[in-house]
Every structure is written in structure tokens, then in C-alpha cells.
Amino acid sequence: MKKKLYVMAIAVLGMIGVGNAQAQNPECMTNLSIFSEHAKVKNYDAAYTPWKMVLETCPELNWATFAYGKRILKDKISKSSGAEKEGYISDLIALGNNSLKYFPKKAKPGVVMIDEAMMKYDNKMASDEQIYIMLHKAFTEDRVNFKNPKALYLYFSSLVDLHKAGSKDLQLVFDTYDDVTEKIEDENKKLTSIITKLLPKEDEGTLTTKEKRRLKVATTNSESFGKIAGSIDSKLGALADCGNLIPLYKKNFDAKKGDVVWVKRAVGRMFSKECTEDPLFVDLVEAQNALDPSSDTFFYLGLLKQKAGNTQGAVADFNKAVELETDSYKKSNILYKIATIYRRGSKSTARSYAQKAINANSSNGKAYLLIAGLYAGSANQCGSTPFEKRAVYWKAADMARKAGRVDPSLSGRARQTAASYSAKAPSKTDIFNSGKAGQTVTFSCWVGGSVKVPAL
């Protein structure tokens, strides 16, 4: 029997791929196999005793001791209370720290720090200040591995609460907001890149089992980041309105106008919050142009010219911004920004820029949502009958659904938008009375194209 368990342990080492050359203790090898088999089927109670023996006797034996150990202890924590629960929590925290000691190439410092912070937060074992300090350390020392959406929100949320309590500066709140939102954008960019590559194969029905899992994980994680991004914006709330932004930036302008990162972030936030009427916005744009005359500065210079009534000059600067940008993702964002400016004027021009944004980055869901809104806003201008006018909403709803498909971080907003437009489209009764079920409605207005009326 022992020989069989020893062979099984060797197999476990081979499957996990992190065997230790010094693993010579037969009892450790046997118990490694026992707890691994139990943990695989989530029988954590049975796994606990052999796992603890391996941890205490030969912690360097195999990474599985720490990988499965986290699951085993979390199960114990969920089933205990009082002092016993606190003991298991302490064991879990120690396990994370020891994973860095025994497997420095496998364990990730940021993940270990986040796990400790979240465990203490969930069990009310630390103050807001302590949680913030732990997560700040994790974010600043190992940002690459700070990928936990809930922890990202808690990091920012605890800081905002500390600011409201009077212990943290507003500038720090803005700086951290920028850092966290940039991290979310970076992670979602990686996820939507995976999704963009796999969606065509899904449409063709040629996804492998591994690719299906990969697409599902990427979609789920993107949705999570989208929810967290919305929560972070809500948490920031009125702190970032013009009434707070302008006085803060005016106070710091002279001291910070040579700091290109500060200037860029200030310009970007004032633009996003529509604080562009204040003269400070002009000063900031000019400062950015002097420090870094890049695609971004030409975009903002174009915005200033547009506000001054110089449309031709504005368009020239906008196009220059696009020409200068070599990163397709950033280029797509610039094109999208230009589209948002034109949506209140020329809808066709706005769509043109939004489509260019999609061409530059096919996962730019915001551009799809913008086009959907442009279509919906033109319902009364398209078609010669009420039925034809309302048929535009089908086209708008379809575009909104595409937004959520290419960028799941927008899926909630996309579903709500599509549902709203679908509700405004002709009902089944309308379709029946029109006699157009299954027919095609063509639009002669700027929207162009057509939609197929649903069959009854």
C-alpha cells in the first residue's frame, strides 16, 4: 500500500511540475499524495491532517502544499468561529508568507499581501487605515500581480474614506484614482485582446475545449473589472467635480507645471469632467504641449480651437493627433473622444470617427455604444411611417449588444441599453398589423443600411 501511495506521490509531483530534488522523505511523499487526492475532490477535512504533516515536516517538498493549503485553510475558516477561526486565519497568513520563503519563484508578493488584507477585511480584523496601508504596499511594490478586482476597489475606497475623515489629501485621492483606473484599463485590454481573437472562432463553432474555457474566464474577468470601474467612479463621485478640481489644480499649477505626468492627468480629468471652460484648462494644455507635444496635446489643442469657432483648425489638429499616435489602442481612444465631440453636431461625422475607433481597436465597446446612441437619437428622422421610424431602434439595439460582446466590462451597460432600445422598437402586435414580418426595412437617412423585421 505504501509503495502504491509513493508511486502516486511521484505522479503528483510530475503533474504539478514543481517537484523538489531533495524530496526523499517517504512519509512526506505519502502524505503529499493523500492530501492532494482529497483536495482535488474538495474533501478538505480529510486533506487537513496529512497536509499539515507535510507543511510542518517538509514545507519545501512541493508547491502543492501551499496551493492546496490555501484552499484547505479557507475551508476551515468558513466552518469555524471565535478563537478557532482566528487561529486558522493566522495559519493562512503564515502560509502565504512561507510560500515566499520556500517557493520565491512561484509565489507572488502582491498576491500574498492582498490575500492577507482581504482576509483581515472580510473578518473585520483591521481598520480602514491598516487595510489601506497593506493594499498600498501591495499595489506599489507588485503592481503587475495586483489583479484582484475587489482588492482594487477596496484600495481606492478605503483611501476615499480616510480622505473624508480628514487624514488623506485630495491630490492623493486623484493620483490613486488615476493609478487604479489605468491598472483596470491595462488588465481589461489584455482580456479583450483574448476575446477579440476567440470570438470569430466561436461564431464559426471551431473553439477547442481549452479555448472555450479561456474565453469564458476572460469574459467573466472583464465583466468584473467593468463593475469595479463603475464602483470606483461612484466612490469618487463629487470629489472630482469642477468645484474641487479647479481650485486644487490652480493651487498646485505653479509647482507642478513641469511635471508631465501631473499635467497630463490634470488635463485629462478636466476634459472628462467638462471643466474646459475655465482658463486653467488652456494653461494646462499649453503646459502639456510644451512638455510633451504628442498626439494628446494636438487633440486638446483641437478642442480649444473648436470652442473658439475654428472648426477647420480643430479638425486639422484632431487628425494630426491620430497621425502621431502609433499605439492602436490609444489611437482608438483618441478617435472615440473626437466622435463624442461631434455627436452633438454632425451625427454622421461622429459615426465616422467612432467607426475609425473600432477599426483601430475592434474591442472598443464604447464606440459601439456611441453609434447605438446616434442611431437611437435619429429615430424620428428616419423612415416615412411610424413603423419605419421605430425600426431604427432594432439597429441601435444590435449595435449596443455588440458593445457588450467585444468588451464584457461594458456588458451590464450594454444589456440595459439594448433592452431600452428594443422596448422602443415595434412590438409583436405592431409587426403583425404592419404585415412586414421577416421583411427588410431600408433607411434612406444618414443612418443608411437596413434591418430585418423579426419573424412572428
- Taking the C-alpha atoms of residue 203 and residue 207, their distance in angstroms, rounded to an integer, is 9
Number of domains within the chain: 2
In a domain, 249, yes or no: no
pLDDT of residue 24 exceeding 80, the answer is no
Residue ending a domain, among 57, 90, 107, is 107
In a domain, 275, yes or no: no
**Maximum separation of any 2 CA atoms in the chain, in Å:** 87
Residue 22 pLDDT class (50, 70, 90 cuts): very low
Yes or no: say if 339 and 367 are a contact pair by the CB < 8 Å rule: yes
In a domain, 40, yes or no: yes
In a domain, 251, yes or no: no
Backbone angles phi, psi at 437, to 5 degrees: -55, 130
Average pLDDT over residues 229-241: 91
CA distances from 159 to 168, 186, 197, 248, 407 (A): 7, 22, 37, 18, 29
Yes or no: say if 376 and 393 are a contact pair by the CB < 8 Å rule: yes
In a domain, 438, yes or no: yes
pLDDT of residue 277 exceeding 70, the answer is yes
Backbone angles phi, psi at 367, to 5 degrees: -65, -40
Domain holding 407, by residue range, is 353-456
In a domain, 379, yes or no: yes
In a domain, 331, yes or no: no
Yes or no: say if 146 and 139 are a contact pair by the CB < 8 Å rule: yes
Residue 9 or residue 426, greater confidence = 426
Residue ending a domain, among 84, 107, 130, is 107
In a domain, 16, yes or no: yes
Average pLDDT over residues 358-363: 96
- Taking the C-alpha atoms of residue 431 and residue 44, their distance in angstroms, rounded to an integer, is 58
Enter the DSSP assignment of 453: P
Buried b or exposed e, range 205-214, using 16+ CB within 10 angstroms: eebeeeeeeb
Residue 430: predicted pLDDT: 93
* Interval 65-79: pLDDT, tens: 999 999 999 999 999
The packing angle between helices 149-164 and 109-122, to 10°, is: 60
- Taking the C-alpha atoms of residue 388 and residue 405, their distance in angstroms, rounded to an integer, is 27
Average pLDDT over residues 105-122: 96
Among candidates 227, 98, 94, which has minimal Cα distance to 150? Answer: 227
pLDDT of residue 19 exceeding 90, the answer is no
Residue ending a domain, among 74, 107, 140, is 107
> What is the radius of gyration, based on Cα positions, of the chain?
28
